[in-house]
Structure 1
Amino acid sequence: MNFSRGNRVFFDSTGKVLWQTGEIWESTLPVQHEEIKGEILYVDLEVNSYDSLKQYIASINPETKEPVFEYFSEPEPTEDQLKIKKLEEDILLLQTDAKEGGIL
């Protein structure tokens, strides 16, 4: 069974669009918009204040207004990547063997 969800659009009092959740179509899990509780707040972060390739903002501490970061998990190496790593190790062993004159 496939599920879908429409776009949620956030805007200011002038009607200017601030942010959109985007649509989700053909999800295998039901995805619904969460209820918004209280007021919508924001925090401005400085440019390059964190490495967005290694970590992401998991949440904002509502008391301190500081972001809470979490690191992306490392993807599992593919079978081809594992084979390449093994070949690189074998090459290094052969190079060392040739340089040292073999194992005594």
Structure 2
Amino acid sequence: MKIGNRIIFDQDGEIVYQTGEMQGGVLPRKEITELHHIDIDFGAIDYTKYRIVKIDIATKQPILEEIPRQLTPEQQRIQELENQLLLDSGVI
């Protein structure tokens, strides 16, 4: 399948985003019947911990998903040792 470039532009004709052309095992595009936007204040979301997965259409608020934290082998070992200390001391 071949899909052409989709260009999203503002009221002045300035290009906001281009998807580029695609071919091969790509899915057909969804037809867009309306396009909205929201502005999120700088620093309002910690993008190192969360990603925006969708916008709630009714409230116009972003729906966030926590990004799973990947521990290095050293961090995993430290966490295991800390947990063992807590178990041994009867804290948990």
Q: Does 1:68 pair with 2:66? A: no
Paired AA for residue 30 in structure 2: E
Q: List 4+ stretches of structure 1 deviating above 6 A.
A: 85-88
Which structure 2 segments of 5+ residues have no match?
82-92
The 1:66–1:87 alpha-carbon spacing in structure 2 relative to 1, beyond 3 Å, is closer
Partner residue, 2:18: 20
Tell me the equivalent position of 1:46: 41
User: Which of these two proteins has the greater Rg computed from alpha carbons?
Assistant: 1
TM-score, normalisation: structure 1 = 0.56
Structure 1: how far apart are the matches of 2:48 and 2:75?
23
Q: How far apart are residue 51 of structure 1 and its match?
A: 1.1
Residue in structure 1 matched with residue 9 of structure 2 by the alignment:
11
CA RMSD of aligned residues (A): 3.2
* Percent of residue pairs bearing the same amino acid type: 29
TM-score (ref. length: structure 2): 0.61
Cα deviation 1:40-65 (Å, max 9, x = unaligned): 11100000111112211111111111
Count residues in correspondence: 80
Q: Which residue of 2 aligns with 1:35?
A: 31
